[in-house]
A = this chain, B = another copy of it.
Amino acid sequence: MMDHMETTTETPWLTAAEQQIWRSFLGGTIVLNERLDRDLRTAHGLSMPEYEILVRLSEAPDRSIRMAELAAAVSHSRSRVTHTIARLEREGLVFRGQCSEDGRGVSAVMTDRGFALLEEAAHTHVRGVHSYLVENASPEEFAVLGQIMQRVITTLGGGKF
């Protein structure tokens, strides 16, 4: 699993062009995330991670997902999801329900207030994604972006594939 053979393999240094692209990627994702987060926060008091969780819940049957699944869906640690859900619960956007079939299981369930807030926030968010990212690529280019990132996910997988 771990690699202890750093000495044997040549390091594949990036060309100047590749380096430039990598930095654009790094910088671009930072400013994009920051901006989307700020937009949501100022308009609806919701952070991006919180928003993403609400989106997943809104799409799930009964607007309800088990904690671990939720964590996997948004690529966060279980602990982090526990905290995030706790926050959302305090604000009345979500509540915890015992999971039938598994005594250990806890399901996060979206409240009507949560759904209503999400409906508002979605406008802000989608408008941002569209104007900051989608409009900066032709459909073909955007498709390429998706393919690359999908491969990255597959490559890294995190055990879950």
* Cβ of A129 under 8 Å from chain B: yes
Interface residues of A in 130-157 (CB under 8 A from B): 130-134, 136-137, 141-153, 155-157
State in angstroms the CA–CA spacing of A27 and B129 once bound together. 15
- Cross-chain contact of A145 among B6, B21, B127, B155 (Cβ < 8 A): B21
Chain A interface SS verdict (over half): helix
State in angstroms the CA–CA spacing of A61 and B147 once bound together. 39
Q: List, in ascending order, chain B residues with CB within 8 A of A22's CB.
A: 129, 133-134
Interface size class of A (residues with CB under 8 A): 35 or more
* A144→B146 contact, CB < 8 A: no
Interface residues of A in 9-35 (CB under 8 A from B): 9, 11-14, 17-18, 20-22, 24-35
